[in-house]
Amino acid sequence: MGAFEDFVNANLGIRKPLITDTGPPSGSSKAAGIVGSQYLDSSNNFLYEKTGENNTLDWAKICTLGESRGGEAILSGNFSTSVAIPSGISATGISYSAIGNSHSYGSPPQVVGTMRFSVESDFFYGYSTYNVNTTGFNLTFTDTISETGHFLDIIINKDA
């Protein structure tokens, strides 16, 4: 290769082709590309990735645009947020809808929380999450919260 091609290859990286058409890639005459190419079905926003050399068969659906993903599974029931912890409480109940989570759970999801303390805090608090069900969960703290500025960072995973 020449100097220009060497520069482009060294500095611009590999560009992944994105093909858009209506319908799944198995029925599209446009669905041809190298392994790793992506195909967007514009009728339903399904995103596919080419996994082999066969232009008709070797496409795997990897997600629907607008939904989060992890590995092969679409994790559309995952939710995360931060909730301010008010002073003067030692326990509280949190409903999913009250924190902006509109997902519906058929079984209790996994709830993981991390407490963030105010920089000026003179105290340290422990907490426990319990009674997790399909509509919410409860928290209890080791003592009554005496200051403001504390937060609970919450991740709710439907695939518990």
pLDDT per residue as tens, the chain (160 positions): 677 677 666 666 556 677 888 888 888 888 777 777 888 887 877 888 888 888 777 888 877 776 655 443 434 567 888 888 999 999 999 999 898 888 888 889 999 888 888 777 788 888 889 999 999 999 999 999 988 888 888 888 876 4
d(CA 98, CA 113): 16
Q: Quote the DSSP letter at residue 25.
A: G
CA torsion sign for 38, 159, 66, 28 is positive
Domains in the chain and their CATH numbers? 3-66 (no CATH), 79-157 (2.60.40)
Identify any residues that bridge with 156 across adjacent strands, giving them in sequence order.
79, 111
Q: What is the pLDDT of residue 59?
A: 82
With contact defined as beta carbons under 8 Å apart, do 118 and 64 qualify?
no
Give the three-state DSSP class for 29.
Answer: coil
Q: What is the pLDDT of residue 75?
A: 45
d(CA 119, CA 96): 28
d(CA 97, CA 133): 13
- Collect all residues with Cβ–Cβ distance below 8 Å to 76 and sequence separation of at least 6: 64, 67, 68, 103, 158
Q: What is the pLDDT of residue 73?
A: 40
Q: What is the pLDDT of residue 14?
A: 57
Identify any residues that bridge with 39 across adjacent strands, giving them in sequence order.
19, 48
With contact defined as beta carbons under 8 Å apart, do 77 and 158 qualify?
yes
